[in-house]
Structure 1
Amino acid sequence: MGLTVHLLGPPRVERPDGDGHQMRSRKSWALLACLVLGERPPTRSRLAGLLYAEAQDPMRALRWGLAEIRRCLGVTLDGDPVVLGLPPDAVVDVTVLTHGAWAAAVDLPGLGADLLEGVTVRDAPAFESWLLSERRRIAAAAEAILHEAALGRLAEDDLEAASRLAVRAAAMSPLDENHQALLIRLYRLAGDDRAAEQQFAAVTALFRKELGVAPGRAVEQAMAEGRRHREVVADDASVEAIVESGAAAVAAGAVETGVRSLRTAIGLADRSGHAPSRLAARLRLAEALIHSTRGMDEEGLAVLYEAERLGLADGDPAAVARARAEIGYVDFLRARYDRSHRRLTDALTVAGGSGPIAARATTYLGAVESDRAAYASAVRLLDRAAGLARSCADPRTEAYALSMLGRVHLLTGAVGPAAEHLDAAIRLAERDHWLAFLPWPQALRGEVHLAASETAAAAAVLQQAFARACQLGDPCWEGIAARSLALTAEAAGRTAEAFALLADARRRSNRMADSYVWLDAYILDAQCELGRRHGHPNAPLWVGALRRLASRTGMREMIVRAMWHGAALGHAGDHDAARLLAGDIANPVLDALLAQDPSRYRVSAASDGASTI
Structure 2
Amino acid sequence: MTLELRLLGDPTVLRDGVPAPLSGRKPWGLLAFLLLEPEPTRREVAARLVPEANDPLAALRWLLHQVRRALEPEATVEEHEGRLRLRLDDAVRVDLAELLAVPDDVDAVERLVRGELLEGMDFTDAPAFDLWLSLQRTRVHDVIAEALWWVGSRLGSKDPARALRMTERALLFDPFCETTNELLLDLLVQSGNAPVARERFRMIDRRFRQELGVPPAETVARPLRRPRVASTVPARVSAPVLLEAAAARLRAGELDRAVETSRRAADVALALGEPAYELAALLMLARTLIHSHRGRDSEAKGLLSRALQLACDVDDLGAQAEVEREMGFVFAMEGTGALAEPVLARSIEHALTADDEGQAARAQTYLGMCLSDRCAYAAATSALTAAVGRFDGLRQRGWQGYAEAMLARALERSGDPREGSVVAARGLDHVRRSGWRAALPWAVLASASCALAAGDRGAASPRFAEGLALATEIDDPCYEAYALRGLALVEAGSDRERAVALLVDADACTRRFRDVYPWVRAVALTDLVELQEGRDRRVLEEAAALAALGPLPDLAERLAPYRRVTDPGTAESGSAGPPRQTLLQTAAP
Q: Per the shorter chain, which TM-score range? A: 0.7 to 0.9
2:503 maps to 1:506: no
Aligned to 2:365: 363
Question: Retained in 2: the 8 A contact 1:385–1:398?
Answer: yes
2:397 maps to 1:395: yes
Q: CA deviation at 1:563?
A: 0.5
2:378 maps to 1:379: no
- Listed as ranges, the matches of 1:52-67 within 5 Å are 64-67=69-72
Distance 1:365 1:268, change over 3 A: same
2:101 maps to 1:95: no
Aligned to 1:283: 283
After superposition, the C-alpha distances for 1:486-518 in whole angstroms (9 at most, x for unaligned) are 23333442x333222222211211211212111
Distance 1:305 1:590, change over 3 A: farther
Distance 1:162 1:13, change over 3 A: closer
Aligned to 1:335: 335
**Residue identity opposite 1:168 in structure 2:** L
After superposition, the C-alpha distances for 1:323-372 in whole angstroms (9 at most, x for unaligned) are 11211111111121221111011122222287011111111111111111
Aligned to 1:315: 315
Aligned to 1:530: 531
Q: CA deviation at 1:119?
A: 9.0
Tell me, what secondary structure is at the counterpart of 1:443?
Answer: helix
Gaps of 5+ in 1: 71-79, 207-214, 580-588, 597-613
Q: CA deviation at 1:418?
A: 2.3
After superposition, the C-alpha distances for 1:110-146 in whole angstroms (9 at most, x for unaligned) are 54412475398x99x9x99997775454233223234
Q: Distance in 1 between matches of 2:522 and 2:553?
A: 11
Q: CA deviation at 1:315?
A: 2.0
Tell me, what secondary structure is at the counterpart of 2:305?
Answer: helix
Q: Distance in 1 between matches of 2:222 and 2:306?
A: 19
Aligned to 1:73: none
Aligned to 1:546: 543
Q: Distance in 2 between matches of 1:129 and 1:68?
A: 32
Q: Distance in 1 between matches of 2:499 and 2:563?
A: 21
Question: Retained in 2: the 8 A contact 1:550–1:558?
Answer: yes
Distance 1:511 1:183, change over 3 A: farther
Q: Distance in 2 between matches of 1:500 and 1:46?
A: 33
Distance 1:56 1:169, change over 3 A: closer
Distance 1:433 1:30, change over 3 A: same
Q: Distance in 2 between matches of 1:32 and 1:298?
A: 35
Distance 1:527 1:37, change over 3 A: closer
Q: CA deviation at 1:261?
A: 1.4
Aligned to 2:264: 264
Distance 1:34 1:455, change over 3 A: closer
Question: Retained in 2: the 8 A contact 1:531–1:539?
Answer: yes
Distance 1:460 1:68, change over 3 A: closer
Q: Distance in 2 between matches of 1:590 and 1:280?
A: 51
Gaps of 5+ in 2: 47-55, 76-85, 190-196
- Listed as ranges, the matches of 1:113-192 within 5 Å are 113-115=116-118, 118=121, 135-148=137-150, 151=153, 164=168, 167-171=171-175, 179-180=177-178, 183=181, 190-191=197-198
2:518 maps to 1:517: yes
Aligned to 1:352: 352
Q: CA deviation at 1:69?
A: 5.7
**Residue identity opposite 2:433 in structure 1:** R
After superposition, the C-alpha distances for 1:365-384 in whole angstroms (9 at most, x for unaligned) are 11111111122221222122
After superposition, the C-alpha distances for 1:504-543 in whole angstroms (9 at most, x for unaligned) are 21121121121211111011011112111xx8xx533322
**Residue identity opposite 1:402 in structure 2:** E
Q: CA deviation at 1:445?
A: 2.8
Distance 1:238 1:132, change over 3 A: closer
Aligned to 1:584: none
**Residue identity opposite 1:67 in structure 2:** E
Question: Retained in 1: the 8 A contact 2:488–2:500?
Answer: yes
Structure 1 vs Structure 2 CA RMSD: 4.6
Q: Distance in 2 between matches of 1:301 and 1:561?
A: 33
**Given the two structures, how large is their TM-score scaled by the length of structure 2?**
0.76
Moved more, 508-517 or 230-239: 230-239
Q: Distance in 2 between matches of 1:559 and 1:285?
A: 37
Q: Distance in 1 between matches of 2:579 and 2:317?
A: 42
Tell me, what secondary structure is at the counterpart of 1:377?
Answer: helix
Question: Retained in 2: the 8 A contact 1:153–1:161?
Answer: no
Question: Retained in 2: the 8 A contact 1:324–1:346?
Answer: yes
**Given the two structures, how large is their TM-score scaled by the length of structure 1?**
0.74
Q: Distance in 2 between matches of 1:334 and 1:474?
A: 16
Distance 1:266 1:64, change over 3 A: same
**Residue identity opposite 1:337 in structure 2:** G
Query: Could you tell me the percent identity over the aligned residues?
Result: 26
Q: CA deviation at 1:22?
A: 4.5
Aligned to 1:212: none
Aligned to 1:605: none
**Residue identity opposite 2:487 in structure 1:** L
Distance 1:110 1:465, change over 3 A: closer
Tell me, what secondary structure is at the counterpart of 2:295?
Answer: coil
Aligned to 1:8: 8
Q: Distance in 2 between matches of 1:520 and 1:269?
A: 40
Q: Distance in 2 between matches of 1:205 and 1:360?
A: 41
Tell me, what secondary structure is at the counterpart of 2:462?
Answer: helix
Q: Distance in 2 between matches of 1:166 and 1:96?
A: 14
Aligned to 1:84: 90
Q: Distance in 2 between matches of 1:237 and 1:530?
A: 61
Question: Retained in 1: the 8 A contact 2:153–2:309?
Answer: no
Aligned to 2:554: 557
After superposition, the C-alpha distances for 1:363-415 in whole angstroms (9 at most, x for unaligned) are 11111111111222212221222112212222233222211122123334422
Aligned to 2:412: 410
Distance 1:128 1:414, change over 3 A: farther
Aligned to 2:436: 434
Q: Distance in 2 between matches of 1:61 and 1:593?
A: 37
Aligned to 1:586: none
Question: Retained in 2: the 8 A contact 1:262–1:281?
Answer: yes
Equivalent of 1:230, from 203, 228, 231?
228
